[in-house]
Amino acid sequence: MRYRGTERLEEVARIAEKLGYRIVGVEGLDKVQVLNGVTFIPRRTSSDINELVKTKRNVLRTYLIRSPEDLKSYPRLRKVAVIVSLSRAAFHALTPKYVERLAVLDLPVEVAIRDVYEAVKERRYLRGLDYLVSLARSGRLELIACSGASKYIELLHPKIIISTLIELGLDEVIALKAVTSAPAKVLRGLGYGIK
């Protein structure tokens, strides 16, 4: 979850538990908290590598891409960030070359389903997303799907996320992985014990 931390954590925990989430990444959180059986872990999203370097090792360090130029320093990026996230502008500006660069980066790419819905609402051509999906289908790129929620009411049920990914052209297994094992692998890498 890409929660910005503007609401009470108890409310988020109540909804997250209802939706079946076990771990939620929260921006601006200092330490790990467990509420209603949901673990909240600190998350830092930035498009400045130097800022990510300074963050603690157990923080979910996410590099936010705003334009293709942000990927130029990718050798350093791989050591610093654990996930790459696309801003809405970057999401709309995806080209084959851009997606290829993302694949070379060898980091999981986070796709917010709310961004997809917004793009549909604005009647945008989702060409870039097709490239992402085709690379994910061939196994060259690892996708992580999230709600992209900025308030708890925008959280999406995992079944809804998986179904949307299937409708976007992903196989069921890869869609399931994007919600379960791919994020779990990242968290295990950060030292969180996940079965």
Site residues, another protein (CB under 8 A): 11, 15, 18-19, 113, 117, 120-121, 151, 153-157, 159-164, 166-167, 169, 171, 173
Q: Measured from the CB atom, is 76 or 157 closer to another protein?
A: 157
DSSP state of 4: -
Shortest gap between Cβ of 30 and another protein (angstroms)? 25
User: Which among 95, 192, 181, 117 is positioned nearest to 144, based on CA atoms?
Assistant: 181
Q: Compute CA distances 9 → 5, 6, 28, 34, 55, whole Å.
A: 8, 9, 12, 10, 22
Using the minimum distance from each CB to another protein, give the nearer residue, 117 or 192: 117
Nearer to another protein, 106 or 167 (CB): 167
Quote the least distance from Cβ 36 to another protein, whole Å: 15
Do residues 85 and 62 make contact, with C-beta atoms less than 8 angstroms apart?
Answer: yes
Tokens of 2: 């890409």
H-helix or E-strand containing 18? helix 9-19
Shortest gap between Cβ of 165 and another protein (angstroms)? Answer: 9
Please, what is the minimum distance in Å from the beta carbon of residue 176 to another protein? 12
Instruction: Output 72 or 151, the one with its CB closest to another protein.
Output: 151
